Amino acid sequence: MASIASKELAANTPGLHTSPDETNKGYLVLQTMFQIKDPKISLDFYSRILGMLLKRVAVPELKFTLYFMSYEDVSLDSSDPVDRTVNHHSYALHDQEFKGYQTRNSEPLDSGHIGITLDDTIKACERFQRLGVEFSKKQLLLLFMPSLSISFVRYAFIKGPNGYWTEICDMTTIGAVVR
């Protein structure tokens, strides 16, 4: 029979830490990223069938476009539904030179990942460094998004178990990109 532990104890859950570090306060799971082959087909499915809204970031010089698909967050103070989509979103990468899907377990690994937003990426990265966390990327966004008119984009990727990546990004950056 299936069993649910209503409250998990570190004692019977090897690896689990039940008292999050102070610096983890305010962390929020924000995005899920995946690759798409044909935007027309994917946009039709996620908008017509599932009713998601779209924010798009095109980076022609690198021949790819990001499609941020998500639902409206009615708790956000805005009259424009599209301005209220800075809640959790699925974010699809379309590479104009699509070479097939990348798995999460072989190179290149710049594919599926989850994204976490927080207040201070720099502080978080300093802590990850102290904890011996492996970084996949750091502040790369600066290099290819000069037109976002963001003075300083803070963003990093850390490598987790099983080869999964986790993106770390300031909420201010998320706002600038998605709004």
| Catalytic sites, residue numbers | 167
Residues touching its own copies, count (CB under 8 A): 84
DSSP E strands: which ranges in 60-143? 64-70, 89-95, 113-118, 134-138
CB 122 → its own copies: shortest distance, Å?
A: 16
- Of the pair 29, 122, the CB lying nearest its own copies is at 29
Specify the DSSP element, H or E, that contains 41: helix 39-44
Nearest CA among 178, 175, 27 for reference residue 114: 27
Selected from 15, 77, 79, 97, the binder of its own copies by CB under 8 A is 15
- Distances in Å between the Cα of 58 and the Cα atoms of 19, 63, 64, 67, 122 are 41, 8, 6, 8, 26
CB 54 within 8 A of CB 47: yes
Q: Does 50 bind its own copies (CB under 8 A)?
A: yes
Site for its own copies in 107-166 (CB under 8 A): 112, 114, 116, 128, 131, 133, 144-148, 158, 160-162, 164, 166
Site for its own copies in 69-108 (CB under 8 A): 70-71, 75, 80, 82, 87-90, 101, 103-105
CB 67 → its own copies: shortest distance, Å?
A: 9
